[in-house]
């Protein structure tokens, strides 16, 4: 293990190029991580480190110290970001990074600016009564799910490293402490704009909007109204993102406005989960007592959250408030149409349709209704349908996904009739569908098994195996076929928990 309390080395593992720290001082609080007793590097995402242009030799030597916060790399300017948020519909004027510290920003090998942030790095001015620390379980969950989302092709923050601190944290039980290193296009949220709006800081809102345009949407600088164009672009990205969530059965679990990024990335994988049996009102989060953030509610909540962003941007959109509201309302109304278009396009792909016809929506809805009535597993249904597209002999396996296999006959007849008007060969169609329908997702019971082995026994082998399987979600992987299976009744995970 690496000893604690190391001083900065002259070696440069990171080439920082920080920008957020140069924004007005009320946007953040400068804050160094709190050092820990005996850090140990659980996992370093070497491919991501290389993509970020980091020095792997230094990270392999000093990674435990760097990613625990004991060793501050040269060029880092640690800070905790300030933001507000609507939490389950209730506005909280000041939240901020209560246990996360942004080390700085790097320019990756593709020329993209990326944040490097430590989660669980100790108290900040925004911690309120929290200890600023993270337990091992939530760190492993975020590592697993964020990397799974990346492999599925869904915009998400990434996992760079996980470190044990050698210290315990007190939650309901005494648990091993850990620090997670998160990489994001940025950590700017809807709640960041809300924070400035709540204080009446119109100059700050403009400075933040200009920063976001420069960083994420530079083409908008030439727009007639860059701030209205920014609002439209953020709404579009979120519509596309949430459509992708629904297409893989993902339930975020805590879609507060402080958990919605301006960049369009999925962020914060606390009580998130992937659905097993299809039910549009599925909820896993232990804190979502009334199903506000249920699977089917996510598009509407996304629209509600984006309306809050629009409110914050009104002074920039037009000096005439009525005109600003009119412009913003037009965009937030169009969000629903954009979401539906993205969702329908993706669902067509999942059932093998390469052209559009008027009856496609009803055909998709009929399958979903059948899945719900028959308790069919979401992921397996679509994966097995992919096989049927290439070989009719696979129909029996597909039908076995449903409680009453014969119930699928009518729908399959309609589906085949619809496919007859598509110009693909069966083998090409099956191959295309398999790229839209993963074989492997982070099944809740598998994630919990990996966490339990690590927390209870210090055994990270299940964690490593799960990461390996999930890195290739669209491949068959016969040695790991059991990872495709839904949970047995005794393995079902009915609730997931926030990691704070």
Catalytic, 428? Answer: no
- According to the 3-state scheme, what is the secondary structure of 324-347? HHHHHHHHHHHHHHHHHHHHHHHH
Quickly list H helices, 351-376. 360-374
Cα dihedral sign, 234-237-243-248: negative
Chain CA centroid to CA 377, Å? 22
Q: What does 393-447 look like in DSSP terms, one character per residue?
A: GGHHHHHTTSSSGGGGHHHHHHHHHHHTTS---HHHHHHHHHTTS-S----HHHH
Residue for token digits 């700085």? 104
Residue for token digits 């597209």? 389
Quickly list H helices, 9-55. 46-51
The catalytic residue among 62, 97, 115, 258 is: 258
CA-wise closest residue to 154 among 438, 371, 353, 344 = 438
On the CB side of 191, how many CA atoms lie within 13 Å of its CA? Answer: 24
DSSP conformational letter for 261: B
- Give the C-alpha separation, 11 to 56, whole Å: 12
* Catalytic residue annotation: 258
């Amino acid at each position: 293990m690496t000893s604690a309390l190391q001083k900065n080395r002259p070696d440069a593992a990171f080439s920082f190029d920080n920008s957020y720290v140069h924004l007005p001082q009320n946007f953040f609080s400068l804050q160094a991580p709190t050092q820990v007793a005996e850090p140990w590097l659980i996992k370093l995402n070497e491919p991501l480190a290389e993509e970020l242009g980091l020095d792997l030799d230094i990270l392999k030597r000093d990674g435990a110290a760097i990613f625990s916060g004991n060793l501050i790399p040269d060029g880092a300017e640690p800070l905790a970001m300030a933001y507000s948020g609507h939490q389950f519909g209730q506005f909280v004027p000041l939240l901020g990074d209560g246990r996360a510290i942004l080390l700085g920003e790097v320019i990756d090998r593709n020329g993209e600016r990326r944040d490097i942030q430590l989660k669980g790095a100790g108290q900040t001015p925004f911690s309120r009564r929290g200890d600023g620390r993270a337990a091992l379980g939530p760190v492993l969950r975020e590592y697993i799910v964020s990397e799974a989302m990346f492999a599925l092709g869904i915009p998400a923050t990434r996992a760079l490293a996980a470190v044990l601190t050698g210290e315990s944290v007190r939650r309901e039980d005494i648990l091993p402490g850990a620090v997670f290193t998160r990489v994001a296009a940025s950590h700017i949220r809807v709640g960041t704009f809300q924070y400035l709006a709540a204080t009446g800081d119109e100059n700050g809102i403009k400075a933040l909007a200009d920063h976001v345009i420069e960083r994420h949407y530079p083409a908008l600088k030439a727009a007639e109204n860059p701030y209205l164009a920014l609002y439209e672009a953020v709404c579009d990205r979120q519509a596309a993102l949430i459509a992708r969530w629904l297409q893989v059965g993902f339930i975020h679990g805590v879609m507060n406005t402080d958990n919605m990024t301006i960049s369009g990335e999925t962020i914060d994988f606390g009580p998130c989960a992937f659905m097993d049996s299809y039910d549009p009102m599925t909820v896993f989060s232990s804190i979502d007592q009334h199903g506000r953030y249920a699977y089917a509610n996510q598009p509407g909540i996304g629209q509600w959250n984006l309306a809050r962003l629009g409110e914050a941007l009104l002074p920039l959109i037009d000096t005439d408030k009525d005109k600003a509201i009119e412009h913003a309302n037009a965009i937030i109304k169009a969000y629903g149409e954009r979401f539906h278009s993205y969702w329908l396009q993706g669902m067509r792909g999942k059932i093998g349709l390469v052209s559009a016809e008027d009856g496609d929506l009803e055909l998709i809805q009929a399958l979903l209704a059948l899945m719900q009535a028959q308790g069919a597993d979401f992921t397996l249904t679509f994966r097995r349908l992919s096989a049927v597209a290439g070989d009719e002999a696979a129909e029996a396996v597909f039908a076995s996904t449903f409680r009453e296999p014969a119930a699928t006959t009518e729908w399959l007849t309609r589906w085949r009739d619809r496919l007859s008007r598509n110009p693909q060969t069966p083998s090409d169609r099956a191959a295309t569908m398999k790229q839209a329908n993963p074989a492997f997702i982070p099944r809740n019971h598998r994630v919990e098994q990996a966490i339990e082995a690590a927390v209870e026994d210090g055994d990270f082998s299940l964690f490593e195996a799960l990461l390996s399987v999930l890195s290739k979600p669209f491949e068959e992987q016969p040695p790991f076929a059991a990872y495709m299976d839904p949970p047995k009744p005794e393995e079902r995970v009915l609730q997931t928990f926030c990691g704070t």
